[in-house]
Amino acid sequence: KQEVTQIPAALSVPEGENLVLNCSFTDSAIYNLQWFRQDPGKGLTSLLLIQSSQREQTSGRLNASLDKSSGRSTLYIAASQPGDSATYLCAVRDNYGQNFVFGPGTRLSVLP
């Protein structure tokens, strides 16, 4: 059974810092991995989706990498801003099922 963990659970940084969020999964037979952002009281917004054959995806100040063999993904946020404050979740879609298994999320606070 696929399990997804995220470290750290919470992170507080000053504005302007570059930061890395980590996601680990136990079964490397994945179809794709997706990073989401969730603001308080809101649903999830998709940030980046990486196919199993890809190593990384970039969108603006965000870069996500995938190392399928080691069961890890990282989300890199460059030059963080207070507006980046939110909970970031990763989710994997495996080859056996059709749904996503989510991690518990990392709560990020970027201080002005």
Partner 1 sequence: EAGVAQSPRYKIIEKRQSVAFWCNPISGHATLYWYQQILGQGPKLLIQFQNNGVVDDSQLPKDRFSAERLKGVDSTLKIQPAKLEDSAVYLCASSPIGRESNQPQHFGDGTRLSIL
- Which residues of the chain form contacts with partner 1 (CB under 8 A)? 4, 31-32, 34, 41-46, 49, 51, 89, 91, 93, 97-100, 102-105
Determine contact, residues 16/33, Cβ cutoff 8 Å: no
Determine contact, residues 66/33, Cβ cutoff 8 Å: yes
Q: Which is nearer to partner 1, 6 or 65 (CB)?
A: 6
Least distance (Å) from partner 1 to the CB of residue 41? 7
Q: Which is nearer to partner 1, 71 or 103 (CB)?
A: 103
Q: Which is nearer to partner 1, 18 or 59 (CB)?
A: 59
CB count within 10 Å of CB 98 equals 8
* Nearest residue to 33 via CA among 19, 47, 15, 44: 47
Least distance (Å) from partner 1 to the CB of residue 61? 19
Residues 6+ away with beta carbon under 8 Å from 18: 76, 77, 78, 79, 80
Least distance (Å) from partner 1 to the CB of residue 71? 17
* One-letter amino acid for residue 12 of the chain: S
Least distance (Å) from partner 1 to the CB of residue 16? 28
